[in-house]
Structure 1
Amino acid sequence: MSFEMWSGLIALLVLVVVGVPIVFAFAASAALGLYFALGGLDPMINLLQQSALSGIKEYNFIVIPCFTVMGMLIAHCGAASDLFNVVNRGLRGVPGRLAVATVGGNAVFAAVTGVGVAAAAAFSHVAYPAMREARYSRSFATGCIAGSSVLGLLIPPSVFMIVWAILTEQSVGKLFAAGVFPGLLLAFLYAVYCMVYAKLRPSAAPEVASDQQVRLTRGQIGGSLGVGVLIAVTLGGIWFGYFTPTEGSAVGLVGSAILAWAKGMRGRGVFNAFVEAGRTVTPIMLLLLTATIYSKLIALNGIPQEVQAVLESMGLGTGGTLLFMVAVWFLLGAMIDSISIMLLTVPIFWPVAQALGIDPIMFALIGILVIEAGVLTPPFGIGVFVVKAAIPDRNIKVSEIFMGSVPYWVLILFLAWLIYAWPPLATWLPSHI
């Protein structure tokens, strides 16, 4: 392949390395690559216009803002706090109870938000003060919050899965179903780790004193039940075919608005929830739009076929090729955010995986898990920095949060390996709906 045809990819890598925001890097490199590939300015502008228009009109994109607003309303109305308190109350006598409650609350909260950033921010305000009051170590407490917040990237309705489905033209509903068992298993592994750690290091996770037992109110119980009903209606409706994922996101948004109103949320609170959702969604939507344009360049230049030919010439085999992709995801995870990694690599890796006969559901779950680990990987680790910004303790160091997150990072990778070793963990449920 000529340098002109590789120009867009080279430009993208250079712009990312020098620190240009990824959304501008996608747009500029796509324009440059298409200029050389099409041989002129006019054809390049025409294709950019067509691609941008088709991206803006993409019906499936509406799922992302709907689920994000849904999660922000739940977080801002106090339902996240209700979940934490209800789970905490039900775990009396469990070692590391507050940490396990954080994991359990995050697992339930993940099923209504799909955005790990929202979970990290919500539980930084709810769980961290409770754990510090019980004299939990700062590293263990913050690591638990950051680590368990990534459950929202795996448990449906995950924004990661929505983006992956859009990029690969897979069924959003099937990917949602594929994330259920792995997501619950990962939450279980997190909880086991917290209990074992509390037993081995009681000074870092002391038993909760009797005077710190939680007394539940009717409002807290009602808020938690409301979240449960919202999950059942939204995800159950999608899986049983009552409505599409796009329609389900709209139903969930209306339901979360009703729950937020019932919890006493009014004008100012609703406004703040929408503003925070906008701050989360806007970069994602801009990235999707510019990545759609960049994918045209990739397809036009035949880059996936070139990558496949190079990998075949290396004689890595299916397992070795998958390991190579994992290594690339790790490398990028230390430099850029997870959504950008997905947008940059999936259009290239997906055709290669198809050509090798790798199960598409298994490949999606492994990819999402490995990229998900980037949320906790230094030096970028956006999940860690969200926790650092959200917790009320200004003395906590980023290094302490990273150290506390290591066991959760290891468990994410263990689950990715387990899915590779036993694909039915991810593929069984989607094949039965």
Structure 2
Amino acid sequence: MDFEIWAGLIALFVLVLMGVPVVFAFATAAGIGLYIVLGGFEPMISLLQQTAISGIREYNFVVIPLFTVMGMLIAHSGAATDLFNVVNRALKGVPGRLAVATVGGNAVFAAVTGVGVAAAAAFSHVAYPIMRKHNYSRSYAMGCIAGSSVLGLLIPPSVFMIVWAILTEQSVGMLFAAGVIPGLILALLYASYCILHAKFWPASAPDSADHAELSKLSKGEIQSAIGVGILIAVTLGGIWMGYFTPTEGSAVGLVGAGILAVSKGMRPQAMYQSFIEAGRTVTPIMLLLMSAVVYSKLIALNGVPQQVQELLESMGLGPGGTLLFMAITWFLLGAVVDSISIMLLTVPIFWPIAMALGFDPIMFALIGILVIEAGVLTPPFGIGVLVVKAAVPDKNIKVSEIFMGSAPYWILILFVAWLIYAVPSIATWLPGVLLGG
């Protein structure tokens, strides 16, 4: 491939590694590449305008802000605290009970939010003070909060899956269904790790915490549990049963979350703040998606996927080796780039290659999402870890302690990714049953 064709891609990676915000790096790199390909400034600007506008008007993009607002309302209404308390009481006598309750609470919370950042912030305030009160070690407690917060990136309605579906033109509902069983497996592995760690290293989770007096459930906690359960059943069940599209389902879920928030006594000012916080979360994602649409156009015009495929074929890696190469690339990028950006950088290139090699699209999507998800917890970027560090009340804790505590969780994520490769039906069975895929 001529250097001119690589110019935009080289500029993109250089700008990202220099610390330029990815949204500007995408736009700049796409502009450079398209200028060279089209041979002029005016055609480059015209194509950029058409592509960006058509991209941001994509109907499926509406799902992202609606599910994000839904998650913020649930988080700020106090439902996250109630979920933690309900699960906590149900686990009386289990070693490392407070950590397991954090995993369980995050798993349920994930099913109504889809935003890992919201879960990380919520449980930093809910679970960490209680665990520290009962003398849980800081690394064990913080690692559990950061590690289990990423369940929201896999368990539907995951924003990760929405972005992947948009980039690859897959069914959002199909990917939502595919994430259920792997998400439950990952949550069970997390809970098992918490129990085993507490058994073998009891100093990190003293028995006193597991035998602490538990009060009866309050009326408000019962209401939250029932409300969240109904919200999950209506939103996801409606999508899977074909009563409405994922976009319509996100609107239904938002209305349900609003009703639940009002029933919890959430005031208009707090609801307004939830919308503002959701806007701060969604705006960078939407700008990234818009610039990534332009970047994808550059990739398609240059035939980069085909040429990368030829390069990998010349290396003799085979399908399994090629998938491993992609996974290593995703994992290494996780050390320096946030997860959404990794997806936007690589999926337009890797997806056509994977399809040409005959990989099942659902299996490949779940493996990609899981491996990229592991980057949320890996140093030095680890956005999940940094969010927890910023949100936790204890300002003396070091980032290194959180990275150490969360390491077993990203190892388990990679294990589940391998498990899906070995047994694809883990990801493909439920979509086939629910949606005929």
Conserved in 2, the CA contact under 8 Å of 1:103 and 1:148? yes
Alpha-carbon distance in 2 for matches of 1:178, 1:92? 32
- Which amino acid in the other structure matches residue 379 of structure 1? P
Unaligned runs of 5+ in 2: none
Matches within 5 A, 1:329-348: 329-348=330-349
Deviations 1:163-212 (A, max 9, x none): 00000000000100000000000000000110111111111101226554
Give the TM-score taking structure 2 as reference length.
0.98
- Runs of 4+ in structure 1 off by over 6 angstroms are none
Deviations 1:82-139 (A, max 9, x none): 0000000010111110000000000000000101000000000000011001100000
**What secondary structure, in the 3-state scheme, does the structure 2 residue paired with 1:112 have?**
coil
Alpha-carbon distance in 2 for matches of 1:410, 1:17? 25
Aligned to 2:272: 271
- Which amino acid in the other structure matches residue 187 of structure 1? A
Deviations 1:242-290 (A, max 9, x none): 0000000000000000100000011110011111111110100000000
**What secondary structure, in the 3-state scheme, does the structure 2 residue paired with 1:347 have?**
helix
Give the TM-score taking structure 1 as reference length.
0.99
- Are 1:198 and 2:198 counterparts? yes
Unaligned runs of 5+ in 1: none
- Which amino acid in the other structure matches residue 408 of structure 2? P
- Which amino acid in the other structure matches residue 108 of structure 1? V
Deviations 1:199-254 (A, max 9, x none): 11111101226554243210011011101100000000000000000000000000
- Which amino acid in the other structure matches residue 385 of structure 2? V
Do the aligned partners of residues 365 and 206 (structure 1) sit closer, same or farther apart at CA in structure 2, a change above 3 Å counting?
same
Matches within 5 A, 1:232-271: 232-271=233-272
Conserved in 1, the CA contact under 8 Å of 2:92 and 2:210? no
Aligned to 1:51: 51
Aligned to 1:223: 224
Alpha-carbon distance in 2 for matches of 1:276, 1:159? 16
Identical positions, percent:
76
CA drift of 1:39 comes to: 0.7
- Which amino acid in the other structure matches residue 184 of structure 1? L
Alpha-carbon distance in 2 for matches of 1:153, 1:364? 13
Aligned to 1:124: 124
**What secondary structure, in the 3-state scheme, does the structure 2 residue paired with 1:42 have?**
helix
Conserved in 1, the CA contact under 8 Å of 2:178 and 2:427? yes
Aligned to 2:324: 323
Aligned to 1:399: 400
**What secondary structure, in the 3-state scheme, does the structure 1 residue paired with 2:216 have?**
coil
- Which amino acid in the other structure matches residue 369 of structure 1? L
CA drift of 1:40 comes to: 0.6
Aligned to 1:62: 62
Deviations 1:333-371 (A, max 9, x none): 000100000000000000000000011000000000000
Conserved in 2, the CA contact under 8 Å of 1:102 and 1:123? yes
**What secondary structure, in the 3-state scheme, does the structure 2 residue paired with 1:321 have?**
helix
Conserved in 2, the CA contact under 8 Å of 1:88 and 1:214? no
Alpha-carbon distance in 1 for matches of 2:213, 2:133? 9
Conserved in 2, the CA contact under 8 Å of 1:147 and 1:408? yes
- Are 1:306 and 2:307 counterparts? yes
Conserved in 1, the CA contact under 8 Å of 2:136 and 2:204? yes
- Which amino acid in the other structure matches residue 278 of structure 1? G
Alpha-carbon distance in 1 for matches of 2:222, 2:124? 21
- Which amino acid in the other structure matches residue 234 of structure 1? T
- Are 1:103 and 2:103 counterparts? yes
Alpha-carbon distance in 2 for matches of 1:78, 1:264? 9
Aligned to 1:176: 176
Conserved in 1, the CA contact under 8 Å of 2:95 and 2:210? no
Conserved in 2, the CA contact under 8 Å of 1:335 and 1:380? yes
Alpha-carbon distance in 2 for matches of 1:19, 1:197? 38
Alpha-carbon distance in 1 for matches of 2:350, 2:46? 27
Alpha-carbon distance in 1 for matches of 2:200, 2:262? 44
Conserved in 2, the CA contact under 8 Å of 1:85 and 1:214? no
CA drift of 1:141 comes to: 0.2
- Which amino acid in the other structure matches residue 370 of structure 1? V
Aligned to 1:432: 433
Conserved in 1, the CA contact under 8 Å of 2:97 and 2:210? no
